[in-house]
């Protein structure tokens, strides 16, 4: 019911300021009631606190000492860094990130219980700090084997390959855990497109590598939307 209510509510925040971007929002996000009367919000791009007025943000930026997401930097390649943020240790950051993300996610309930999630925040870093380009969240313990709950690339950074990088990262984490994983459903149109793109690339790479020595079996476990498709690739051991 709550999901339905949120879904049918009218978009309140029309634009946000985040770092050097002003971004038009896509969907309703349930910000606390005191923000009901404003159509623009000003975010600190590092701690993700949000404010009603630009002067408040300017004052905040003078004293905010974060220059990257809180948590551990777990990956770096060139100017790209990934931070792992534990929702339990950084509750306010996790909540702020959820409020922000919901502005671009349609069919998602907002989780207030950020304790149960890890947030993987991808940043482009320069001498001013690490600027968030996107993120995905992940339940610490998922009974359904979900390895990703929500994924977002911020609009100014979309269509540059970051979505597929985030998806690849989520599967690499699962591989390290020795588990199979799958994203939470439903996927949005753009989510589906990105997953199809990711898996097309993975399968083509395997096919290219093994050329003729391969047999493919397609199947589905379970039924309905909860059913999980699988591909069994069998690589024949050396041909003469
Ligand atoms: N129109 C057409 N194709 C697009 C568009 C678009 N607007 N945006 C991305 N694509 C295609 C790309 O061309 C690419 O296709 P390819 O594999 O054939 O090359 C593929 O989608 C992935 O592109 P990326 O650049 O890697 O992805 P991006 O950084 O744009 O992020 C994402 C994709 C995260 C889905 C982004 O669109 C987004 O944040 N959308 C809003 C939030 C959302 O819908 N999240 C998914 C919800 S489902 C879930 O969370 C489990
Ligand atoms: Zn701040």
Find the angle CA(198)-CA(134)-CA(175) to the nearest 5 degrees: 45
Instruction: Check residue 226 and give its pLDDT.
Output: 55
Distance 128 CA to ligand 2 centre (A): 13
Three-state SS at 130: strand
Q: Where are the alpha helices (DSSP H) in 10-145?
A: 54-63, 91-102
- Specify whether the CB–CB gap between 44 and 61 falls below 8 A: yes
Q: Of these residues, 6, 17, 45, 184, which one is catalytic?
A: 184
pLDDT, tens digit only, all 240 positions of the chain: 445 445 556 778 999 999 999 999 999 999 999 998 899 999 999 999 999 999 999 999 999 999 999 999 999 999 999 999 999 999 999 999 999 999 999 977 776 789 999 999 999 999 999 999 999 999 999 999 999 999 999 999 999 999 999 999 999 999 999 999 999 999 999 999 999 999 999 988 888 888 777 887 777 776 665 566 777 777 776 554
Instruction: Check residue 206 and give its pLDDT.
Output: 85
- Cα 156 to Cα 17: distance, rounded to the nearest angstrom: 12
**What is this structure's pTM?**
0.91
Instruction: Check residue 139 and give its pLDDT.
Output: 96
Contact residues of ligand 1, CB 6 A cut-off: 104-105, 148, 150-153, 158-164, 183-184, 187-188, 190-191, 193-194, 197
Does the annotation mark 184 as catalytic?
yes
Ligand 1 atom 37, closest CA: 190
**Confidence check on the interface: ipTM exceeds 0.95, yes or no:** yes
Distance 94 CA to ligand 2 centre (A): 13
Instruction: Check residue 89 and give its pLDDT.
Output: 98
Could you tell which of 107, 121, 159, 225 is best to mutate to test the pocket of ligand 1, judged by most ligand atoms within 8 Å of the CB? 159
Instruction: Check residue 1 and give its pLDDT.
Output: 41
Q: Where are the alpha helices (DSSP H) in the chain?
A: 2-8, 54-63, 91-102, 162-177, 189-210
- Cα 134 to Cα 239: distance, rounded to the nearest angstrom: 45
Distance 185 CA to ligand 2 centre (A): 32
């Amino acid at each position: 019911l709550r999901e339905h209510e949120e879904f049918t509510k009218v978009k309140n925040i029309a634009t946000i300021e985040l770092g050097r971007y002003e971004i038009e929002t896509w969907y309703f996000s349930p910000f606390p009631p005191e923000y009901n009367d404003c159509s623009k919000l000003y975010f600190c791009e590092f701690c993700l606190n949000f404010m009603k007025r630009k002067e408040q943000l300017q004052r905040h930026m003078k004293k905010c000492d974060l220059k990257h997401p809180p948590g551990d930097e777990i990956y770096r390649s060139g100017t790209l860094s990934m931070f792992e943020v534990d929702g339990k240790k950084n509750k306010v950051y996790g909540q702020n990130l959820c409020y922000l993300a919901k502005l671009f996610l349609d069919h998602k309930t907002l989780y207030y219980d950020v304790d149960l999630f890890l947030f993987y925040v991808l940043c482009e870093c320069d001498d001013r700090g690490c600027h968030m380009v996107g993120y995905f969240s992940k339940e610490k313990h998922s009974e359904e084997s979900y390895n990703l709950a929500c994924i977002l690339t911020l609009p100014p950074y979309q269509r540059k390959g970051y979505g597929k990088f985030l998806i690849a990262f989520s599967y690499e984490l699962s591989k390290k855990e020795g588990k199979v994983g799958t994203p939470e459903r439903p996927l949005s149109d753009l989510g589906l497109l990105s997953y199809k793109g990711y898996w097309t690339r993975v399968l083509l790479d395997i096919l290219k590598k093994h050329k003729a020595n391969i047999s493919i079996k397609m199947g589905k476990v379970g039924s309905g939307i909860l059913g999980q498709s699988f591909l069994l690739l069998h690589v024949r051991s050396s041909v003469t």
